[in-house]
Structure 1
Amino acid sequence: MIMLSSLQGYISWSQIQKSACTKVLWFTIWNIFFANVLSGSALYRLNYLLEPKEFPRVLAEAVPAQASFFMAYVVAFGWTNIASELFQLIPLFYNYVNRFFGGDCGDDFEAPTIPYHKEVPRILFFGLLGVTYFILAPLILPFLLIYFCLGYIIYRNQLLYVYVPKFETRGEFWPTVHNYTIFSLILMHIIVIGIFGMKKLPIASGLILPLSIATLLFNEYCQKRFFPIFQGYPVECLIKKDREDQNNPNMSEFYDKLNKAYNDPALMPIKYSGRPRSRRTPLLSSESQNSARESQSQDMLV
């Protein structure tokens, strides 16, 4: 996903990480959640898209049936990954191989940075499982509670003493977390509407609709209230940066190099050819024209 995000044209590492995080997130939703819930033949899945009114009922039937699978998934995959995060086995093995085969005998060890495109989708996916299953299968909640408690302790230790931030994201992962949380709530509402519809409770199904509308209105409010913060720098930060640049003695040299760093080809002066009347010169020289005329005259005599 990092390579695909790089091919999109992003120039900063934070934008590449954010784009890769979004790709991994939606791939995880489809490949793990919907692929297991909507398991069946291709024609059977196609019926879901052709009949969207039946989608809540299908989810209400299929999601509770996969509760045991996702419980085992949380225990086997979630707890194992959170433990491996504490031990850092892959960086340790890489450092050992680099020292053994690369001939690097120094004592310096490069501090790792947190892989946002791996950790953020994983945590959000377990949040999706908790939101969608806390009504259908509450037994999954203790396993998720243990996962998040261990995650809080371990990630707090990793962020304070292990990981070193190599770039500033300005909190740009918050919109991704917010949108994914809203999606989880809407998905939970759809599943609950399908369950109440199966149990012939139209009043209960109708009472869920105001919750969905309120959730979407809250999402719209957050987009207008908070999302512009992530699209531009605050004035306070810009003023602070300008004051730091004023006190920096190397800024004059930087500005001198900046003028020559890049020249747009469209803005460069046009260089014409030094030969006069270059557009009026014949394509064939006079000698070639004379030889062509002589050959034509000889053909006519023959």
Structure 2
Amino acid sequence: MGRWISKLLVVVACILLTILFLIPVVVVQGLTNLSQLEVWFPFLKSILTIAFVSQIVTGYLPSLILQLFLKIVPPIMEFLSSIQGYISHSEIERSACNKVLWFTVWNIFFATVFSGSVLNQISIVLDPKNIPAKLAVVVPAQASFFIAYVVTSGWTSTSSELFRIIPLICSLMTKCCAESTDDEIEVPSIPYHRDIPRILFFGLLGIAYFFLAPVILPFLLVYFCLAYIIFRNQFINVYAPKHETAGKFWPIVHNLVIFSLVLMHAIAVGIFSLKKLSLASTLVLPLPVLTLLFNEYCRKRFLPIFKSYPAEILIKKDREDQNDALMSEFFDKLATTYQDPALMPIQYSADSDSLNRPLISSAETAM
């Protein structure tokens, strides 16, 4: 019962956080619209007429502000997952990864393309038949913003991962404030709940925009090349895994790819409908159905592997343990390592009170 209540509270907290995050999204969208910005701040009209300043304010600054607000989301989601009732680090991180991913998809993609208007997003949910047509109109209009977002969030964050400035500063401050030796330095582990959602979100941008605005593809290609080179170095020379997840993050990747494909199909149907290409729209309609059927096949065929270990792997592990010379010593210690408290003798003190005093005294027992 307690775990169910904690899950409900976490869901409510995630919904409230998602709604509150629409405030910076609205501010960011106001910065991308130069005419709206001049209405909000009339005294900046003379400064915004300068081409360089207007390009910085409407192009680079919005994505930078959004990225700064996004920095606080992964720690919050990790904390919410930790109080949700999960008992292992891998489950907590996997739950936080899922929360951060869908938070990013909703607040960065959908809230941005629909201009950050809460009433507009609610009307879209209440009228789902017009979703493809509205996506076809609003998604291409935000191509320049997402290109700047890839440069700001993708290139910058991936490059900063190589230097790890913030962990370096924290380590130096710790050494200055507390006495520590080299043996006390803890090897970091990669925060999956922070990096996996970011990579998957850029994959969603590539799938959704590759036929709407192909100019975004070179920027994404540079990002993925940088990410491969830098994270390969980090995995080899910097990070050390603290726990084994047994590949259980892969279903999250699979679900986001399927969602991205269905989203791309919906946008394509909307675009072909706006251009009055009925034949093209008809040919695209079976694609989301086939994608969902493929997803269902994968769920039935491969998802059980991520929930329970195959007998082949367990047999292989048992055979490896049989050949391990240390296992016999481990089994010898296992018998005496743990004792059930109910089977342990109760030690009464000499000044025991009436609550633990025997009902029959020793003198009466002797008689």
TM-score, normalized by the shorter chain, greater than 0.5: yes
Aligned to 1:83: 159
Whether 1:113 aligns to 2:193 is no
Helix, strand or coil at the partner of 1:63: helix
CA distance, structure 2, for counterparts of residue 111 and residue 205 of structure 1: 53
**One-letter amino acid of the structure 1 residue matched with residue 226 of structure 2:** L
Q: Deviations over 1:63-88 (max 9, x none)?
A: 00000000000011110001011111
Q: In 2 relative to 1, CA 166–262 (structure 1 residues): closer, same or farther, beyond 3 Å?
A: farther
1:215 Cα offset (Å) = 1.1
- 1:245 offset after TM fit, Å? 5.3
Residue by residue, what CA displacement relative to the aligned partner does 1:96-138 show, whole Å, maximum 9, x if unpaired? 0110112225465321111100000000000000000001000
Q: TM-score, normalising length from structure 2?
A: 0.69
The aligned counterpart of 2:331 is 251
Rounded Cα–Cα distance in structure 2 between residues aligned with 1:262 and 1:15 = 31
Are the equivalent residues in 2 in contact too, given 1:13–1:167 (CA < 8 A)? Answer: yes
> Is 1:204 the equivalent of 2:280?
yes
Which residue type is aligned with residue 180 of structure 1? L
1:169 counterpart = 2:169: no
Partner of 1:20: 96
Distance of aligned partners of 1:101 and 1:201 in 2 relative to their CA distance in 1, 3 Å threshold: same
Q: 1:65 matched to which residue of 2?
A: 141
1:150-229 equivalent positions in 2, closer than 5 A: 150-229=226-305
Q: Which runs of 4+ in 1 moved over 6 A?
A: none
What is the DSSP-based 3-state SS (H/G/I as helix, E as strand, rest coil) of the residue aligned with 2:111?
helix
Q: Name the CA distance, whole Å, in 1 between partners of 2:275 and 2:79.
A: 48
TM-aligned CA deviation for residue 6 of structure 1: 1.1
1:230 maps to which residue?
A: 306
Distance 1:262 1:200, change over 3 A: farther
Change (3 A) 1:242 1:40: closer
Residues of 2 paired with 1:22 and 1:143: CA distance? Answer: 25
Which residue pairs with 1:268 in the alignment?
none
Q: SS in structure 2 opposite 1:163?
A: coil
1:123 to 190, 199, 210: 199
| Structure 1 unmatched runs, 5+ | 264-273, 276-302
Taking the aligned partners of 1:15 and 1:244, their CA distance within structure 2 comes to: 27
The question of whether the paired residues in 2 share the 8 Å contact of 1:112 and 1:162 is answered with yes
Label 1:152 to 1:261 Cα distance change in 2 as closer, same or farther (>3 A): farther
Task: Compute the displacement of 1:262 (Å).
Answer: 8.8
- Confirm or deny: 8 A CA contact 1:60 1:192 kept in the other structure: yes
Distance change in 2, residues 1:15/1:144 (3 Å): same
Moved more, 52-61 or 103-112: 103-112
1:6 and 2:86 correspond? no
Q: 2:180 aligns with which of 104, 129, 132?
A: 104
Summarize deviations over 1:127-182 as a string: whole Å, max 9, x none. 00000000100000000000001111111111111111111110001110001000
> Could you say which residue in structure 2 is the equivalent of 1:74?
150
Does 2:336 correspond to 1:260? no
Q: Which has the higher contact order (CA 8 A, sep 6+)?
A: 1
Kindly state the Cα deviation for residue 194 of structure 1 after the two structures are TM-superposed.
0.6
Q: d(CA) in 1 for partners of 2:341 and 2:283?
A: 62
Higher alpha-carbon deviation: 40-49 or 253-262:
253-262
Larger radius of gyration: 1
- The Cα of 1:241 is off from its aligned counterpart by 3.8
- 2:221 matches 1:141: no
State whether residues 74 and 143 of structure 1, in contact with CA within 8 Å, keep that contact through their aligned partners in structure 2.
yes
CA drift at 1:224: 1.6
Q: How far has the Cα of 1:8 moved from its partner?
A: 1.4
Q: Is the CA contact (8 Å cut-off) linking 2:200 and 2:253 kept in structure 1?
A: yes
Q: Contact 1:245–1:251 at 8 Å: present in 2 too?
A: no
Contact 1:64 1:137 (C-alpha < 8 Å) held by counterparts: yes
CA distance in structure 1 between the partners assigned to 2:151 and 2:341 by the alignment: 54
